A and B are shown apart, each in its own frame.
Chain A
Amino acid sequence: MLFLYILRRIAWSIPLLFAVSIIAFALISAPPGDYITSFAATLSESGDVVDQARLDAMRERYGLDQPFLVQYWHWISNAVQGDFGISFEWQQPVSTLIWERMSLSVTLALATLMFTWALALPIGIYSAVRKYSIGDYVVTAIGFLGLATPNFLFALVLMYIAVVYFGADVSGLFSDEYQDAPWSWAKLVDLAKHIWIPVIILGTSATASLVRIMRANLLDELHRPYVTTARAKGLSEWRLIMKYPVRIAINPFVSTIGWAFPQLISGAVITAVVLSLPTAGPLMLQALLAQDMYLAGAFILLLCCLSIIGMLVSDILLAVIDPRIRFR
């Protein structure tokens, strides 16, 4: 049953991936003109002579003169083999540029997700069980503040406080000496020392909304008849809440991975720009602004894939913990 469900779910994400890849490609080829146009603009700005024949040759070499579907087919068939084309701006294969940044993005998102969960779960349970206590009000208030602050603003404020009051620079993920160093244990430790600031910045609003969801779900469940049944059995209040209502209230919580993970990844784009993190965000933004289409396309495609994988994982997890879903 479970196996079949997972198979069905995976089968469904294939057309989804396909649709997403078309959207990604359409997005990057949508701007009027192409990289060659903006390249020409840069050339003429700097006073160089623009040779139309050379531009046409470049267009042909990059296949930019072909119809949309041909270009798309060319792009996607190479992409599934790991070849995302060449970055015009860097004059390097896209694949050499993106993987380290993508992996740092994923690391950051996963760390934030853990942080969010570790915080949101107990706080949510607490504020539902002790509804209308002082603690609940404090949590609710902080939650609202977290929700109302855009991530980048929060990042800016933190940076401001760090610079003005502590004289510290909180941007980046590595200290200067590890910036370009190869991976080592020391570099990993250095990463751990830096990553918590973006984690807090990214995690706060996600935590706030998860706490609200958990609280609402659990409040719904706390007065269900099966809780009374368990209480009549003689279960202690604490074990009872953890075993029954929390177990059920956690279902929608698990499904939040589906949206929280992609949101973290995409939300990180802006924060990363502010904090100048060496993750996918800043490079993608740069590529988008410069119309470096293959680089931007690779990022958009990969971020979309991550979102879909996030949804897939959360759906499967949900089916594992809730028998009602897999029997449907």
Chain B
Amino acid sequence: MPMNSKTETDPRALVQSPQDFASQWSLIWIAFRRHRLAMTGAIIVLMLYVVAAFSEFLAPFNPNATSAADVYHPPQMIRFIDRHDDGGWSVRPHVRSLTAERDKFTLKTTYIVNPDEKIYLQFFGKGDPYRLWGVIPMDRHFLTTADPSERFYMFGADRLGRDMLSRTIYGTRISMSIGLVGVTLSLALGLILGGVSGFYGGRVDMIIQRIVELVISLPTIPIWLGMSAALPQDWSPLTRYFAITVILSLVAWTELARVVRGRFLALRTEDFVTAARLDGCSRKRVIFRHMMPSMVSHIIASVTLAIPVMIIAETSLSFLGLGLTPPIISWGVLLKEAQNVRSIAQAPWLFIPGGAVFLAVLALNFLGDGLRDAADPYAQDTHQ
């Protein structure tokens, strides 16, 4: 029921919201802020990208440093209260040291807590040298051992004694960025094809629609597998990374193209677009000044929802050994270590990168859902 006769004051009218001067983005922000889950998601996503941006600094060790003595070293808990032998205490982060013992008969290694020995940790301490973003040489880490020759394992160690925390942090960079880069590629494809399809209509639209239909009817995973298997084995890790991204986006662009085309078609018939044409706007101005602002928020929402799909796809491919391969570290590559029951039964912490996938996908889904709901602040609420 439309209630908009403001010419005469309706005594029953509710207090008008002070949003008469609010632009699209402030209205979206108002709607989005109410969405608590989406806000939580947004914060988590932001944190993940911060981790991805500063992984060298945040990781305590070089992720490829092996330690034969620490094979399948279990996770250690960080303690902050340090009790001294004399009964006093101070605040100093440390972990309890574990020593490996090998059973003579079964040859199974077990780790036993060594109560006397503590490994002290230090914030912003010196550790393995690295180059931040491959450029700035540094050796400070957010949290590392006070004595650079010692190691600690918050997330445990893998079968070569590599620190899982550092590896998961480095994996964040690759996994989160492959989602972003892949989505950018499919967005470019989707925008161009969807936009052309929606703007020109007619035969062009029909041909593009048929192509979309064909791509949709392909079963994604076998095609992905087939394409990745077709990649030459001798490519450099970076080339392979981009090749995988391209493969992922080749299949994923259809959904974005569909959204873009749908919005374009819907908008084209809106009176305000005709009005803009009659105002004498050039085609470019009609699209970019009048139509784009109505599409951007929808596109951002769809893009956000497409990133988790990419992340899962990359993880799955790498898990099977057809996606990224070592020495690149991604969550999928890490999970490949957890492929058989025997190793996970022995070292369940190998699942931790899976937890990261789960967290990222969940957060991005929440964020995307919230954005989608807030994307059109002008949609009429049908039931008041």
Contacts and interface: CB of A to CB of B under 8 A. Distances in A.
**A touches B in complex, CB < 8 A:** yes
A208 to B, nearest CB: 10
Contacts of B335: 152-153, 156
Contact of A259 (B216, B321, B322, B345): B216
B223 A27 contact: yes
A304 B218 contact: yes
Contact of A273 (B315, B320, B345, B382): B320
Nearest to B234: A32
A284 B222 contact: yes
Contacts, number: 125
Given A28-B226, A150-B312, A145 B217 contact: no
Q: Find the residue from B225, B338, B382 having the highest chain A CB count within 10 A.
A: B225
Interface stretch (B161-169, B238-246, B274-282, B353-361): B353-361
A303 B345 contact: no
Interface in A260-310: 262-263, 265-267, 269-270, 273-274, 284-285, 288-289, 291, 296, 299-300, 303-304, 306-308
B257 to A, nearest CB: 16
Interface residues of A, number: 52
Interface stretch (A90-98, A159-167, A246-254): A159-167
Nearest to A306: B219
Interface in B336-367: 338-339, 341, 344-345, 348, 351, 354, 357-358, 361-362, 365-366
B287 to A, nearest CB: 30
Contacts of B225: 269, 284-285, 288
B17 to A, nearest CB: 23
Contacts of A152: 316, 319, 335
B194 interface: no
Interface string A140-168: 00001101111111001101100110000
Contacts of A156: 335, 338-339, 344, 351, 354
A102 interface: no
Interface string A177-200: 000000000000000000000000
Contacts of B339: 156, 274
A20 B226 contact: no
A288 B271 CA distance: 54
Given A150-B357, A160-B348, A285 B320 contact: yes
B373 to A, nearest CB: 11
Interface string B177-211: 00000000000000000000000000000000000
Q: Find the residue from A24, A144, A152 having the highest chain B CB count within 10 A.
A: A152
B60 to A, nearest CB: 25
A311 interface: yes
Given A152-B316, A266-B219, A304-B219, A147 B361 contact: yes
Given A27-B223, A157-B351, A160-B345, A19 B214 contact: yes
14 contacts: A20-B214, A24-B226, A27-B230, A147-B365, A148-B358, A149-B361, A152-B319, A156-B351, A159-B341, A164-B348, A269-B225, A288-B322, A299-B222, A308-B217
Interface of B: 213-214, 216-223, 225-227, 229-230, 232, 308, 312, 315-316, 319-322, 335, 338-339, 341, 344-345, 348, 351, 354, 357-358, 361-362, 365-366, 382-383
Interface of A: 16, 19-20, 23-24, 27-28, 30-32, 144-145, 147-153, 156-157, 159-160, 163-164, 169, 171, 223, 259, 262-263, 265-267, 269-270, 273-274, 284-285, 288-289, 291, 296, 299-300, 303-304, 306-308, 311
Given A147-B362, A150-B361, A311-B217, 13 more contacts: A20-B214, A20-B218, A30-B226, A31-B230, A32-B232, A148-B358, A151-B316, A153-B354, A160-B344, A223-B382, A262-B217, A296-B229, A307-B218
